[in-house]
Each structure stands twice: as C-alpha cells, then as structure tokens.
Structure 1
Amino acid sequence: MLQLKDQLHTFLRCSIGDGNTALFWHDYWTELGPLHQLFGPTGPRSLRIPLNANVSRAVSNGHWSIPSARSEDAVTLQIILSTTVIPSSSNRADVFLWRNSSGGFGPSFSSRVTWERLRVTRPQVPWYSVVWFKEEIPRCSFISWTAFLGRLPTRDRLISWGLSVPPGCVLCSLADESVNHLFFQCPFAVATWSRFCGRYMASPPSSLADVVLLCQQLPGPHASRAVVVLKLINQVIVYTLWRERNSRIFSGVSSSQEACSRLVDRAVRDRLLSLTRPTATAPSPSLLELFFWFVSPFS
C-alpha cells in the first residue's frame, strides 16, 4: 500500500488547511515530498510524531511543535515549516491537488491526463485506424486487434509453445494454420472475401498488411467514407472465420462457406443500418449505399 501511495506522489499534492486530513509522514504536503522517505524509519521517534499522525498533530498552541533539530534533514524541515502556513481549525479543510495537462496541480482529477503521463508511449502502428474507429463492432475489433498483434492462439503458435496439436487448417485441411492462412490464404477465406469484391476491391487481400494498404489507397470520389465500410468488412470477416474455426474445433459444428458469407453480410448491414442516418447536409451516398457498391447484396 505504501509503495502504491509513493507512486501517486508523482500526480498528487496536498494543500494544507486545517491539517486534519493530510498525513504528516506519507502525504506530499511540503517541498520535501513525503517525509517518511526523507527521515526513514527513525523519523517518527526523532520528531516524536506517530507514523500515522496527520499534519495537525505537529501543531501546538498555534505554532509548529517540532523537537530541536539533530540532523541536517531536521534543520531543512524546520526551515521549510517556517514559511508554511500553520494548520488551524479556522482554516478550510486540506485539499488534494492532481497534476493537470500543463504539468501543474489543480483540484480536479483527469483520468486522461493521468493515463497520458503514466503510459509508455510508442510509435503509432500503421494499422491502428483499421482496428479502432467509431463505426466498429467491439467484439470484432477485439479479435481483429489480437490478429494484428499476432496473438491469436492459432495452431502454429500453439505448436511453438510446445503443445501437441494437429497443425492443419480445420477450414480446408490443405495447409498448416496461421493467421495469414486462416484469414486470407485458405480457400474458405478467399471465397468469403471474394463475395465482397467489386467496385472498390478488385480481388481479395492476401494479408492484414494488404488490408491496411488498401485502406490507404482506396480509389474513388467517396474513398474516405468507403474505407469505413472496408474496415468493417475486414473486422467482421476475421471475426466470423475465427468463430467458425473455433466452432469446428471445440463443438464439432460446421457451417458452409455460403452460410459464413451471409453472416458477414448480415452483420455489416446491421451495423451500417444502426448508424445515424444522413441528413440533407450529410455526405452522399450513405455508408450502406457504399456497401452495396462493394458487392451485389444477397437476396
């Protein structure tokens, strides 16, 4: 618990009022930081202030009540306290301040600002917008994201972990299962992708990298909106193929390629129908109309 509290001090400060809330040893209420880090385990005994005491415990008769300094750290503390407002019951309550976007501290907490300071930033991957976009289907985005990361437990990965599993693809039995084979090279997958080839996509992509490249180079006057449809088709196909693969392995239940294609078509249409309908000032055609341009709709 103390270790977690020490980590919070990067983001948290305390402005002293009546001194009844801030902890003398553990909170960051002076320029010296948490005093238990400065004085160590002997601090409470040398300053005669209990380990869990609040700041008001160090005040007596309206003055700081600290024993005579016997170390350089104690001298430094006394100098700091001489310029610090003395806690009083007539003052406001202690206020905890959170680090804000400018690097200072304020009374409001922002999870976004805190996260941006906590996380280790890395270069943005080129496929992020193919996975995360506002029109996504969350369950499909998650599987697509895991596929881009190369972390789906395909049979080639399971074998690399030392597990004894058959290597063959359960959708076609013609090659070993991997991410590229399962979603793009398997005849079952190629046939599924082919049902959505048309004006914007002349032939099925051969890898996730091809999907990213196609999204970046999609032709036509409505390409910026058509790419949303393409990203959605990609996610739903990956999700549907992964679901079919698992159904065959774990339940022994198989669906035809035609049935899987219809599932993809229905899921994409349902998602596009659920989106806000275009207004008179909105771009035309609609996303659903652009989907029809990708492929002749099923009857």
Structure 2
Amino acid sequence: MVEKSLWVRWVQCYLVRKGSFWSIKENTSSGSWVWRKLLKLRSLAKQYIKKEVRNGESSSFWYDSWSRFDTLKDLLGERGPLDLGVPDHYSVAEVKRSRRRSRRRRNHRVDILNQIEEVISRLDNDSDEDIVLWKHAEGKFKTNFSTSKTWNQIRNVRPVCTWHKGVWFSQSTPKYAFTMWVAIKRRLQTTDRMQQWNSSINTTCVLCNDMPESCAHLFFGCRYSGMIWRKLVEGMMKDAFTVDWSELISIVSKSWVTPIKTFILRYVMQATVYTIWWERNARRHGEKPRDIDCLTKLVDKYMRLKLLSLKGRGDYYEDGLITWFGAQPNS
C-alpha cells in the first residue's frame, strides 16, 4: 500500500494534516519546492483520478471524485459545505455516520442538493478500503496507474517518426547525426531553397556542374557523390545498392541484414552526408576541390576509426572491422 510509505505518512502528518491534499492552498509556504510544484499540478492530475467508495474513510467528501457529480467542491463552490451542512474536511465515511445519527434525510430547496443527499443515502456500509481508479482512456478507469497511458492523454499525439532510428542510434557521432537530421527535414540550405529568396542565385551543383542542386541530388543523385557512395557501400549492399535518397532513408531506418551491418550502413551514410555537405560548402566558398578518391578515403577513415574505438567493448561491434574490410574492394 502507498499509505505505508514513510514519505507519504510524513506528508500526511506534517503537510496535509486533517485536511485533504486537494484542499491545501496553492500559495502555502509549507513544504519544499517540489511539494509546492505538486500542488500547482493538482488541477491537471484530478482529471485522471477518481475514487470507488467502499468504507469511505480515505475519500474526501468535497475534494475527491467519488460520485457521478465528480468533485462536489467544484460543483457547489465555497458555499457548498454551508448549504449541505457538511464540514469542508469531512470524509465520505464521516458524512455517512452523521446522516445515520440524524436518522432522517435532509430536504433542501435546491434540487442539486437533494440529488446529492440521494447519493449519500445509497452508500453501502462496506468494510473494505476505498479503491483508487486511474484513467487509462476516455471513460475507462483501472486500479493500476500507467505512466504511458497517462502521458498519452496529456500530450498532443503526433504522427510516429518512421526514420528516427536511422538518425539517432547508439554510438552515432553527434555532428554527423545532426547533419543527417537537418537533411531529412529538408532544412539544408541547398540552392533550390536559397532561390526562393534570391532568384538570381546560380543553382547548378558545384560538385558535378551538371544539374540543379537539391538535397536528393546531393545525396546521391549527383554523379560525384553517387560515385563516392558506390565505392563505399556497393560491396556491402550488393543487389540492394541504391543512390535514391528516399529509399536509403527507408533502408537505414529499419534493421538491415545483421545488427553490425545495420550499424555500419547507418554510420557510413551519416559520415558520407556530412563529408559531402562539407565539400559542397568548401567549393562554394572558393576552396580547392577534392576528387572522388580523396573523399572516399576520408569517409573510409572515419568508419575505421569509429570501429576501432568500439573494439574491446565486448559486443558485436568487434566484428565491425572484419565486415567493413570485407566489403571494400581495395582493402
């Protein structure tokens, strides 16, 4: 039981005292910073919790959602305890006992108060403890609390990102992954995008000097970048080899052949995208162009260094060098 927790018992004794967690003033100076933050989240939390009354001892008459009227204090306001003749701090059990002692049902001029009296009169004399119910879906409450179910109700649900595993994976290099992410989001400042605000810009690809530059062209529709990609992974991909950007994103976003080959393909693709983008920017700023073999060897070096850094960790990456060397025609 949660009530047996030392922390819960301390909070009940020194912070909640005879009242209810829901009735504590939000501007209280008692308790820690965390406690005051919890108090501010009550309006959100109360939407996802209600009580199933048995003996009524642990259910607040005014502040817990235990009847079809939800929270009675929200329904009747500050005058509710006075109009109904029930003190603000009473539990449901205390209300049951007080009504039994009076031996007659109270009648009110306001219909809603009479409806609440009817609910009170129908409460059973159960000896079992009250049950806390947590909202799992609209109109569906269960006795177990689910963090994921609650989170899915609080957050704004967005479409599932199908390509995230191809970008964010264990042992990736942050600057490579970031460049890959920006490329997939179509936010790289390629000339086809730059032309939208500067129509006079030259959109010809600086790598091949043949076609207009776009993200799909740079990776790897361009004959320059396409040749680099072919030299790096054709030996490993074999019949699955492609230079189509959309197809490659789909391939690296799923498990491919074996775990080590999946890692190598994802990593080498990110390293190649980063290196080609770097070369493209260098050329546009007047630096000396590097040939296909130079960039291929550079990406190959990045891949080997990454695999060497993983060697000796006792996982399947130790086989990475063998797999990578075996796929390279000149190794």
Give the TM-score normalised by structure 2. 0.56
Cα pair distance change 1:190/1:99, threshold 3 Å: same
- In the other structure, the counterpart of 1:238 is 273
Instruction: Considering fraction of residues, name the structure with more helix.
Output: 2
Q: Give the conservation status (yes or no) of the 8 Å contact 2:51–2:66.
A: yes
- In the other structure, the counterpart of 1:59 is 90
CA drift of 1:129 comes to: 4.2
- In the other structure, the counterpart of 2:290 is 256
Cα pair distance change 1:218/1:14, threshold 3 Å: closer
After the TM superposition, which of the residue ranges 178-187 and 255-264 deviates more from structure 2?
255-264
- In the other structure, the counterpart of 2:183 is 147
In structure 2, how many angstroms separate the alpha carbons of the residues matched to 1:146 and 1:225?
25
- In the other structure, the counterpart of 2:170 is 134
- What code does the residue aligned with 2:217 have? H
- In the other structure, the counterpart of 2:157 is 120
* 2:193 matches 1:157: yes
In structure 2, how many angstroms separate the alpha carbons of the residues matched to 1:206 and 1:233?
14
* 2:322 matches 1:289: yes
CA drift of 1:77 comes to: 4.2
After the TM superposition, which of the residue ranges 27-36 and 287-296 deviates more from structure 2?
27-36
In structure 1, how many angstroms separate the alpha carbons of the residues matched to 2:72 and 2:61?
10
CA drift of 1:24 comes to: 5.3
> How big is each residue's C-alpha offset from its partner over 1:248-293, in whole Å with a ceiling of 9 and x where there is no partner?
66x76666355544443333233333436475xx769812211122
In structure 2, how many angstroms separate the alpha carbons of the residues matched to 1:154 and 1:23?
64
In structure 2, how many angstroms separate the alpha carbons of the residues matched to 1:75 and 1:228?
69
In structure 2, how many angstroms separate the alpha carbons of the residues matched to 1:205 and 1:150?
20
Matching of residues 271-290 of structure 1 within 5 Å = 271-275=306-310, 277=312, 286-290=319-323
- What code does the residue aligned with 1:256 have? R
CA drift of 1:34 comes to: 4.7
Cα pair distance change 1:210/1:28, threshold 3 Å: same
**Secondary structure at the residue paired with 1:232?**
helix
Cα pair distance change 1:106/1:235, threshold 3 Å: same
- Matching residue within 186, 208, 211 for 2:248: 211
Give the TM-score normalised by structure 1. 0.61
Alignment size in residue pairs: 271
Unaligned runs of 5+ in 1: 50-54, 86-94
Matching of residues 3-82 of structure 1 within 5 Å = 8-13=45-50, 28=65, 31-35=68-72, 39=75, 43-47=76-80, 57-59=88-90, 62-63=94-95, 71-80=110-119
- Matching residue within 59, 79, 104 for 2:142: 104
- Bigger radius of gyration, 1 or 2? 2
Q: Give the conservation status (yes or no) of the 8 Å contact 1:155–1:178.
A: yes
- In the other structure, the counterpart of 1:89 is none
- In the other structure, the counterpart of 2:301 is 266
Cα pair distance change 1:284/1:6, threshold 3 Å: closer
Cα pair distance change 1:147/1:47, threshold 3 Å: same
CA drift of 1:180 comes to: 0.6
- Matching residue within 201, 204, 213 for 1:166: 201
Instruction: Report which structure shows greater RCO (CA 8 Å, sep ≥6).
Output: 1
**Secondary structure at the residue paired with 1:174?**
coil
* 2:215 matches 1:179: yes
> How big is each residue's C-alpha offset from its partner over 1:195-244, in whole Å with a ceiling of 9 and x where there is no partner?
3044224597322233257669999xx65532331122112212333344
Cα pair distance change 1:165/1:140, threshold 3 Å: farther
In structure 2, how many angstroms separate the alpha carbons of the residues matched to 1:76 and 1:253?
83
CA drift of 1:130 comes to: 3.2
- What code does the residue aligned with 2:173 have? I
Q: Give the conservation status (yes or no) of the 8 Å contact 1:180–1:206.
A: no
Q: Give the conservation status (yes or no) of the 8 Å contact 1:98–1:106.
A: yes
Cα pair distance change 1:35/1:237, threshold 3 Å: farther
- What code does the residue aligned with 1:227 have? T
In structure 2, how many angstroms separate the alpha carbons of the residues matched to 1:122 and 1:30?
37
Cα pair distance change 1:105/1:235, threshold 3 Å: farther
Cα pair distance change 1:275/1:283, threshold 3 Å: closer
In structure 2, how many angstroms separate the alpha carbons of the residues matched to 1:28 and 1:246?
62
Sequence identity percentage? 23
Matching of residues 193-204 of structure 1 within 5 Å = 193-201=229-237
In structure 2, how many angstroms separate the alpha carbons of the residues matched to 1:254 and 1:196?
23
- What code does the residue aligned with 1:148 have? I
Q: Give the conservation status (yes or no) of the 8 Å contact 1:273–1:288.
A: yes
- What code does the residue aligned with 2:221 have? Q
